[in-house]
Amino acid sequence: MGKLTHYDDSGHARMVDVSGKATTKRTARAHAFVRLGAEVVAQLPANPKGNPLEIARVAGILAAKKTAELIPLCHPLPITHADVEVQVEAEGVRIRSSVTTTAATGVEMEALTAVTVAALTLYDMTKALNKSVEIQDIYLVEKTGGKSGDYRREAQPGR
């Protein structure tokens, strides 16, 4: 395993200098699951606050674009594409994001931020129905491009 790049030799936090890295197309996809319970899932279409799925989806896209404002050492990136998909299942909502850039660093944090904020938005939109909502399984699915090459998460049983 390599050294953590967000620290200098004295152990102080720093923003990594990516000015010497090649500008290439980079993509990332991330995943989250919001366990709502069957009763809340059944009530999603009638939510008095509006369509929680669409609001969560748009919140995730906005979050991807604002990641550098939320994560202290992230680089602001020119996002060329961001999308969030929501899929209703029996016990909750599966959220997937995809983000693309042409830059000197990757968009993994943007993809992860997108699914996380979408999940938090879904919690906010449904908490009046059930405060036991759980946000689960936030992880990077894959990333492409950059010096470290491509990455794809191995399939996990039951996911």
Q: How confident is the model at residue 3 (pLDDT cuts 50, 70, 90)?
A: low
More confident residue, 64 or 131: 64
Q: Per the domain annotation, does 155 fall within a domain?
A: no
pTM: 0.89
How does pLDDT run across 16-38, given as a tens digit for each residue? 778 878 899 999 999 999 999 99
Contacts of 81 (CB under 8 A, 6+ apart): 98, 99, 100
Q: Per the domain annotation, does 28 fall within a domain?
A: no
Pick from 145, 152, 153: which is nearest to 18 by CA?
145
Q: Out of 83, 124, 137, 150, pick the active-site residue.
A: 124
Overall domain count for the chain: 1
Q: Per the domain annotation, does 50 fall within a domain?
A: yes
Q: Per the domain annotation, does 48 fall within a domain?
A: yes
Length of the chain: 159
CATH number of the domain within which 130 lies: 3.30.70.640
More confident residue, 99 or 9: 99
pLDDT at 21: 83
- Alpha carbon 72 to its chain's center: 16
Pick from 144, 69, 136, 62: which is nearest to 101 by CA?
144
Pick from 83, 85, 68: which is nearest to 122 by CA?
85
Q: Per the domain annotation, does 137 fall within a domain?
A: yes
pLDDT at 6: 66
User: Is 124 a catalytic site residue?
Assistant: yes
Q: Per the domain annotation, does 9 fall within a domain?
A: no
pLDDT at 14: 73
Provide the CB-side half-sphere exposure for 110 (13 A, CA).
Answer: 27
Collapsed DSSP state (helix, strand, coil) of residue 52: helix
d(CA 142, CA 14): 26
d(CA 61, CA 108): 14
Q: How confident is the model at residue 10 (pLDDT cuts 50, 70, 90)?
A: confident
Q: What are phi and psi of 95, to 5 degrees?
A: -120, 130
Q: Which domain holds residue 87?
A: 36-143
Q: Per the domain annotation, does 31 fall within a domain?
A: no
How does pLDDT run across 43-73, given as a tens digit for each residue? 888 877 778 999 999 999 999 999 999 999 9
Q: Per the domain annotation, does 43 fall within a domain?
A: yes
